Amino acid sequence: MKIGIFVFADMTQLDATGPLEVFSSIPGATILIVAKRKRPVDVGGLLRFVPHFDLSHCPKLDVLCIPGGSGVNALQLDDAVLDFVRRQARTARYVTSVCTGSLVLGAAGLLKGKRAACHWASLSLLAAFGAKPSKRRVVQDGKFITAGGVTSGIDFGLFLAAKFKGAFVAKEIQLMMQYDPQPPFRAGTPAQAGKRITARIVSRRKAFQAARKSIVAQAAARLLK
């Protein structure tokens, strides 16, 4: 079973490393790191991923996972990346994303009519691609499995582990990770955080979200040509 994680500049590292930690414990799974070019990819100046394959040499994957992050903006208009995603989607058992990685699946034309998750700040943008935005942390619609923002990637990893090896094995992995979230605050969603905190974040990200909305509109328009 080949699980490929696509990495790129300005990716949110936990979107990849969260599910990666789970994937690495799935019996029989081979984890492949894929990038546009076969050279190290710096992520946020903190981590460096060394890809196994570039886009043209990546084998057929059983699972393709697209993380999110600010770098997703550029990917939505990158023909080489979108062609790769479409090509892998034709034969993969599951095509997946974490956080805003679902925008890339949308830009590839894969989510029309599909329920899909995304980071709350960009969730509504999925509708431009004909997707049905969902606030759930993990959403499956056919072969497409999408996770919400950042930490949802761990939940998604365990969900996928159960798909392949059953709930018992997935629970073993969860126990070994001691994944028992008990955050000091209930502020993980806009509803929990409240209007004041949510408004502060929305205000700080106003220019970025406006730029992202514009890119989504361009990507969606390209699908109509």
Q: At 24, give phi and psi (nearest 5°).
A: -65, -15
Q: What is the DSSP letter of 122?
A: T
Q: What are the tokens at 215? A: 């890119």
Distances (CA, A) of 175 to 150, 168, 181: 20, 11, 12
Cβ contact 68:7 at 8 Å: no
Q: What is the rounded distance in angstroms from the CA atom of residue 96 to the CA atom of residue 144?
A: 6
- The CA-based dihedral angle spanning residues 71, 44, 48, 51, taken in that order and rounded to the nearest 10 degrees: -10
Amino acid letter, 190: P
Q: At 131, give phi and psi (nearest 5°).
A: -80, 165
| Annotated active-site residue in 58, 65, 99, 118 | 99
Beta strands 47-49; 41-43: pairing state: antiparallel
Would residue 99 show up in a list of annotated catalytic residues for this protein? yes
Q: What is the rounded distance in angstroms from the CA atom of residue 224 to the CA atom of residue 26?
A: 39
**Could you list the active site residues?**
99
